[in-house]
Chain A
Amino acid sequence: MIRPPLKLIALLLILLQSACSQQAAPSLYQQLGGEAGINAITDGLLYEIEHDSRIVHHFADTDIARFRRLLAEQLCEISGGPCKYSGETMAKSHTGFNISLADFDALVEGLIKVMQRENIAISAQNQLLALLAPMYKDISYR
């Protein structure tokens, strides 16, 4: 009687499985560097806002700690990470600020600067921009 090479089969299965999981594309959240990456982008963006005279005035009355937490939650959630954004809708949270196209451009430029500095792959940058760009209609001129 031939004994089935159980160990060999098990090994093959494990190899196949790991090959499969390597083929599955990492989520955008992973491409951005997971929790640490999102935190770095969030802090970087806060730094850019603080040093951008074009838009910093919009944040004069902002609770920065709360804003930081909500921004990180949102970036985490839209990129497929294990978070739940707990803030208001984009439309509601920007009402009264009258965010212009130039303001929105300035923030996007700041985000690009941060992502470049963090050496995030261009395809991951573009994925994130593609997720954020449609928010323009809810954020601008309210």
Chain B
Amino acid sequence: MKQAMLSLVALTLLMSTSCLAGSKIIATGGATNIEGSAGGGIVPWAVINGYGSSDEWAATAFASQVGVDDFTLRSIGASISYDNNWEWSIARQTFKLDSLGGELRQDVVGVKYHIAGELLYTSAPQLSLGLQYKKHRDFALPQAIGARDSSGIDLYIAATKVLLNAVAGRNVLLNGTLRATKANQTGLLGFGTAQSNDYQLLFEGSAAILVNYNVAVGMEFKQKPNELAFANEQHWRDAFVAWFINKNLSVTAGYVDLGNIAGFANQQGYYLSVEGAW
């Protein structure tokens, strides 16, 4: 993982001298969330990944790690986007059960379509529709604790707006996302339960202040379902600092509170992510 992050940084530094990024303003592509979609750390936003503006292509790659008391979640992935309207992404998640032993892997394929509004320039927020197809690669354990399916589809609508000169002369980003999902612990513990195969409609929100063009400080909240009888599932929270070093490289660090996971209470720890964009 460390190697993955370091090689991503090295690759980005190498290419940043020779590669022209798109026309979007720095930081407006957001970071990449753990599912591979442009957003914050845990919430997908309406922004399209990378710096491709109208009629431009962009690509990103990311590696992130969340380390809490009894678990470690590593994600790597990549996206391409076009016209600041379409985003296609893939991510591989590896969820290490540090205290129990073993690991669970999940793949996420995402697509996002920007339907209205412009993040910076319209009074209405930027609106996007997203879909994430999630496929669990080690379903035996989730199945044993009561999950119904090894795969699931999340659908979401996100609204994101940068309010210019909003607080103390600084720009503020607000995001609200409504997600329909059957996923237990975002799919890491499978989809649906023996008793229920219904979609849940959940809210996710982010707020960040742009200290300057390159640094954002913010918080996120992710509402979670609580369907598995085996163990409680709780809402997620994080606080983060994102540093957009240039249009080719950004680093995000944060503190996360993931609540109860698989019977382990108070799962808190760090979040670290590196993203390269071209």
Q: In angstroms, how far is the closest chain A Cβ from the Cβ of B214? A: 11
Q: In angstroms, how far is the closest chain A Cβ from the Cβ of B196? A: 43
Decide: A102 and B53 in contact? CB cutoff 8 A: yes
Q: Tell me, in angstroms, the Cα distance from A104 to B171 when the chains sit together.
A: 19
Q: How large is the interface on B (under 10, 10 to 19, 20 to 34, 35 or more residues)?
A: 20 to 34
CB-CB < 8 A to A100: which residues of B? 53-55
CB-CB < 8 A to B212: which residues of A? 122
Decide: B23 and A129 in contact? CB cutoff 8 A: no
- A residues with CB within 8 A of B: 54, 100-102, 104-106, 108-109, 112, 116, 121-124, 126-127, 129-130, 133-134, 136-137
Q: Tell me, in angstroms, the Cα distance from A133 to B122 when the chains sit together.
A: 7
CB-CB < 8 A to A126: which residues of B? 164-165, 169-171
Decide: B55 and A133 in contact? CB cutoff 8 A: no
Decide: B121 and A123 in contact? CB cutoff 8 A: no
Q: Tell me, in angstroms, the Cα distance from A130 to B121 when the chains sit together.
A: 9
Residue ID in chain A nearest B52 by CB atoms = A102
Residue ID in chain B nearest A107 by CB atoms = B23
Which B147-161 residues sit within 8 Å CB-CB of chain A?
none
Give the 10 A-B CB pairs with smallest separation, nearest first.
A123-B169, A136-B121, A102-B53, A130-B164, A101-B54, A126-B165, A130-B165, A105-B23, A102-B23, A100-B54
Q: In angstroms, how far is the closest chain B Cβ from the Cβ of A141? A: 9
CB-CB < 8 A to B70: which residues of A? none
CB-CB < 8 A to B140: which residues of A? none
Q: Tell me, in angstroms, the Cα distance from A122 to B55 when the chains sit together.
A: 30
Judge whether B120 is part of the interface by a CB distance below 8 angstroms.
yes
